[in-house]
């Protein structure tokens, strides 16, 4: 993305309405026609924007430079609106795709996340639970009745592992459902809560999962030292309460809209499912949309209702359409039972209902910061279209332009010397001296890396840095670029991460690239340069179409606590 456009995008993202804490937060520092830019707006942008786009100084002139970006954003938004883009089909379709998920996210944030309170007692209790690890086996089946029946059989004395082998749909069925040991904090929250208070030999109640219904048997419960601290426990507890809140909100909305499913139609849809496609066949593209097995829905059933709610209903014909529109891994599968069909339709309905609920019932867009955020997103789509039409489509780079740039900028195109090192990093000088001795005696340097380096990530690629110019890895380059040539080994030297010994593996000498090698780079550089020049000219003309007023005395009162330098 071009520099000026990128700055405008960042400015728009930062401009979310909020109540400033300072007395002068609402002081207007600039007007662009009927639009106002306040001290709060300016300070929000100055804190959010990437440092490289900030002015060099926090003087009044520096503040004017940042304010100019903000004014340009308003000018381009007004011009885009004047062009009538928001009435065009491309925007109507794009906005329909964006607005719904935005409203759902805001609904969950406002109605759930911002209402969640985690007490110190809850954190302490969860942290205590994190001191326990559970060794488990599981049985996964399609419905609750089957899970409850199997649980009763297990409690009556039947072997849990044998029941798992016979009935479980889970991946560990062949191993008797054994899924190993996990501490609290590393499992699904609903699994964890089912385990609280259980001891070895106990079996959970039937648990509803995304893939059916599960039973868990505790083989062992032991105390462990948690891998995380109490702050992590607080964050985890907050996330759990948010998920619970979201599920509760969805359940309430489901009641409010009177959503109901019709068992006969669900059964027919389930019976019409083809045999499950092995996931490995999907991942290897052995099976694709064209050759995937089809539903076997008979025409006589197509108009049966599978579900309905206050504002709509869906038939089996609709289910068929939804089924074929889904990606293969997401389609309902027999192994997950009828519940998977209900989940599929449930998700589709909520994707349609939740945005309407958010706007009409929860009145999400009456919250100033949410409304302004949505308006900014809408305007940035329009600004991007304006940029594409008025800038990108009007700039061309010819072969002659690139040839001329090549001949006039040879020094700028020079490819610097590149070197690739192998690095052994150790903890102290004595270990480094020993490593150096072995290397100079002929021991394979890759083996030295694998055997002695304390940098675990480096062991995977034998400590290689890859070809890079001087300065990319300052601590290594200061030594490595002074070595004579390929195969040269440094004496041990100290770095911020320990002691290092390096070996030169490859050298690419400094050279001038051919035009063909540099053509792509030249085109990119010229294109960005021409875009910037063309946009600057357009902005100068567009700004003449609007009344722009700047109050320097108000601007002087705005804080600019970050600068480029």
Helix, strand, coil shares of the chain, percent, nearest 5, are 55, 15, 30
The band of 274, judged by pLDDT with boundaries at 50, 70 and 90, is very high
What CA dihedral angle connects 45, 50, 53 and 59, to 10 degrees? 60
Residue 90 pLDDT: 94
**pLDDT confidence of 227, banded at 50, 70, 90?**
confident
Taking phi over 0 as left and psi of -120 to 50 as alpha, with beta for the rest, 422 belongs to beta
Instruction: Using the predicted structure, report yes or no on whether residue 17 has a pLDDT greater than 50.
Output: no
Residue 15 reports pLDDT greater than 70: no
Would you state the pLDDT for residue 209? 77
Residue range 212-225: mean pLDDT, rounded: 93
Do the Cβ atoms of 10 and 4 come closer than 8 Å?
no
What six digits make up the tokens of 405? 């740039």
CA-based torsion, 184, 190, 196, 201: positive or negative: negative
Helix (H, G, I), strand (E, B) or coil at 2: coil
More confident residue, 10 or 203: 203
How remote is the C-alpha of 316 from its chain's centroid? Answer: 35
- Coil, helix or strand at residue 533: helix
- Reported as a single tens digit per residue, the pLDDT across 347-395 is 889 888 999 999 998 999 999 889 988 998 999 999 999 999 999 999 9
Phi and psi angles of residue 2, each rounded to the nearest 5 degrees, phi first: -70, 155
For 483-520, what is each residue's pLDDT tens digit? 999 999 999 999 998 999 999 999 999 999 999 999 99
Burial 530-564 (b: 16+ CB within 10 A, else e): bbeebbeebbeebbeebeeebeeebbeebebeeee
When pLDDT is cut at 50, 70 and 90, the band that residue 19 belongs to is very low
At a CB cut-off of 8 Å and minimum separation 6, what does 264 contact? 304
Please name the residue that has the structure tokens 């893939």.
211
N- to C-terminal Cα separation, the chain? 23
In 400-547, DSSP assigns E strands to 418-426, 468-469, 493-495, 498-508
What is the CB neighbour count within 10 angstroms for residue 503? 23
Burial class (CB in 10 A: 0-12, 13-18, 19+), 472: middle
In the predicted structure, residue 270 carries a pLDDT above the cut 80: yes
DSSP designation for 204: P
pLDDT tens per residue, range 47-69: 888 888 889 999 999 999 999 99
> pLDDT band at residue 1, thresholds of 50, 70 and 90?
very low
149-174: average pLDDT: 92
β-strand partners of 223 = 132
The answer to whether 126 touches 381, Cβ cutoff 8 Å, is no
Give the model confidence (pLDDT) of 303-345 as tens digits: 999 999 988 899 999 999 999 999 999 999 887 777 788 889 9
How far is it, in rounded angstroms, from Cα 380 to Cα 77? 7
Neighbours of 392 (CB within 10 A): 16
pLDDT attached to residue 49: 85
Does residue 460 register a pLDDT over 80?
no
Burial of 4 (0-12, 13-18, 19+ CB in 10 A): buried
Phi first, then psi: what are they for 77, rounded to 5°?
A: -65, -45
Closest CA to 206 of 255, 167, 251: 167
Percent of the chain exceeding pLDDT 90 equals 72
**156, 147 contact by CB (below 8 A):** no
Instruction: Give Cα 432 to chain centroid, integer Å.
Output: 41
Average pLDDT on 23-45 reads 91
Rounded-to-integer distance, Cα 164 and Cα 42, Å: 62
Q: What is the pLDDT of residue 423?
A: 94
Please report the pLDDT score of residue 250 as a whole number: 87
Residue 11 has pLDDT above 80, yes or no: no
* Phi/psi at 424 (5° precision): -105, 120
Four-residue CA torsion sign, 157, 161, 167, 170:
positive
Mean pLDDT across the chain: 90
Specify the pairing of strand 212-223 against strand 28-32. unpaired
pLDDT confidence band for 142 (50 / 70 / 90):
confident
Task: Examine the pLDDT at 551 and tell me if it is beyond 80.
Answer: yes
pLDDT digits (tens, 9 = 90+) for 79-125: 999 999 999 999 999 999 999 999 999 999 999 999 999 999 999 99
What's the rounded Cα separation, in Å, for the pair 436 and 290? 60
pLDDT one-digit tens code per residue, 166-207: 988 777 888 999 999 999 999 999 999 999 999 999 999 999
pLDDT digits (tens, 9 = 90+) for 390-444: 999 999 999 999 999 999 998 888 888 999 999 999 999 999 999 999 999 999 9
CB 110 within 8 A of CB 160: no
pLDDT bucket at 221, cuts 50 / 70 / 90: very high
- Asked whether the CA dihedral 266, 267, 273, 278 is positive or negative, the reply is positive
Asked whether the beta carbons of 78 and 35 are under 8 A apart, the reply is yes
| Residue corresponding to tokens 């306040």 | 38
Element of type H or E holding 550: strand 548-550
When pLDDT is cut at 50, 70 and 90, the band that residue 22 belongs to is low
pLDDT of 172 reads 86
Locate 332 and state its tokens: 């309902």
* Those residues with Cβ within 8 angstroms of residue 181's Cβ, 6 or more apart along the chain or in another chain: 133, 134, 135, 136, 220
77 token code pair: 């938004």
Coil, helix or strand at residue 511: strand
Percent of the chain with pLDDT over 70: 96
Instruction: Provide the 10 A C-beta neighbour count for residue 173.
Output: 19
Helix axes 3-14, 60-82, angle to 10 degrees: 90
Asked whether the predicted pLDDT for residue 9 surpasses 70, the reply is no
């Amino acid at each position: 993305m071009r520099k000026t456009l990128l700055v405008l995008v960042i400015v728009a993202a930062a401009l979310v309405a909020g109540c400033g804490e300072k007395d002068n937060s609402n002081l207007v520092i600039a007007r662009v026609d009927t639009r106002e830019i306040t001290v709060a707006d300016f300070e929000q942008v100055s804190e959010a924007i990437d440092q490289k786009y900030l002015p060099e100084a926090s003087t009044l002139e520096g503040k004017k430079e940042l304010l100019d970006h903000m004014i340009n954003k308003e000018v381009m938004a007004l011009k885009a609106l004047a062009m009538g883009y928001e009435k065009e089909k491309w925007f109507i379709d794009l906005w329909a795709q964006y607005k719904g998920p935005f409203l759902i996210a805001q609904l969950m944030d406002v109605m759930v996340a911002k209402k969640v309170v985690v007490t110190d007692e809850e954190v302490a209790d969860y942290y205590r639970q994190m001191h326990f690890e559970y060794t488990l086996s599981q049985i996964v089946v399609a419905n609750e009745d089957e899970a409850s029946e199997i649980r009763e059989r297990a409690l009556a004395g039947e072997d849990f592992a044998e029941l798992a082998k016979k009935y479980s749909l889970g991946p560990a069925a062949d191993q008797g459902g054994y899924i190993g040991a996990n501490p609290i904090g590393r499992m699904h929250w609903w699994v964890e809560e089912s385990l609280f208070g259980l001891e070895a030999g106990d079996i959970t109640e039937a648990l509803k999962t995304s893939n059916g219904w599960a039973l868990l048997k505790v083989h062992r419960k032991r105390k462990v030292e948690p891998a995380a601290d109490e702050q992590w426990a607080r964050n985890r507890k907050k996330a759990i309460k948010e998920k619970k809140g979201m599920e509760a909100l969805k359940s309430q909305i489901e009641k409010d809209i009177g959503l109901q499913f019709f068992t006969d139609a669900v059964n027919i849809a389930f019976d019409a499912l083809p045999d499950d496609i092995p996931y490995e066949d999907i991942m290897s593209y052995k099976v694709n949309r064209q050759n995937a097995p089809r539903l076997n829905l008979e025409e006589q059933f197509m108009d049966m209702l599978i579900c309905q709610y206050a504002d709509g209903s869906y038939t089996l014909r609709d289910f068929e359409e939804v089924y074929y529109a889904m990606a293969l891994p997401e389609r309902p599968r027999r192994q997950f039972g009828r519940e998977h069909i209900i989940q599929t339709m449930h998700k589709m309905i909520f994707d349609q209902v939740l945005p309407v609920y958010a706007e009409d019932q929860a009145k999400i867009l009456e919250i100033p910061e949410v409304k302004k955020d949505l308006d900014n997103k809408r305007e940035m789509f329009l600004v991007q279209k304006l940029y594409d039409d008025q800038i990108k489509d009007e700039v061309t780079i010819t072969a002659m332009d690139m040839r001329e740039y090549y001949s006039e900028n040879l020094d700028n195109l020079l490819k610097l010397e590149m070197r690739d090192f192998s690095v052994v990093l150790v903890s102290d000088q004595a270990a480094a001296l020993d490593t150096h001795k072995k290397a100079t005696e002929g021991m394979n340097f890759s083996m030295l890396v694998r055997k002695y380096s304390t940098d675990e990530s480096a062991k995977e690629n034998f400590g290689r840095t890859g070809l890079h110019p001087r300065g990319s890895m300052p601590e290594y380059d200061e030594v490595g670029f002074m070595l004579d040539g390929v195969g040269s080994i440094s004496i041990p030297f100290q770095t911020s991460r320990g002691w290092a010994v390096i070996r030169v593996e490859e050298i690419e000498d400094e050279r001038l690239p051919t035009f063909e090698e540099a053509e792509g780079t030249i085109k990119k550089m010229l294109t960005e340069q021409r875009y910037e020049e063309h946009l600057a000219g357009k902005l100068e003309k567009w700004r003449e179409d609007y009344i722009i007023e700047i109050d320097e005395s108000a601007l002087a009162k705005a804080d600019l606590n970050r600068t480029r330098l």
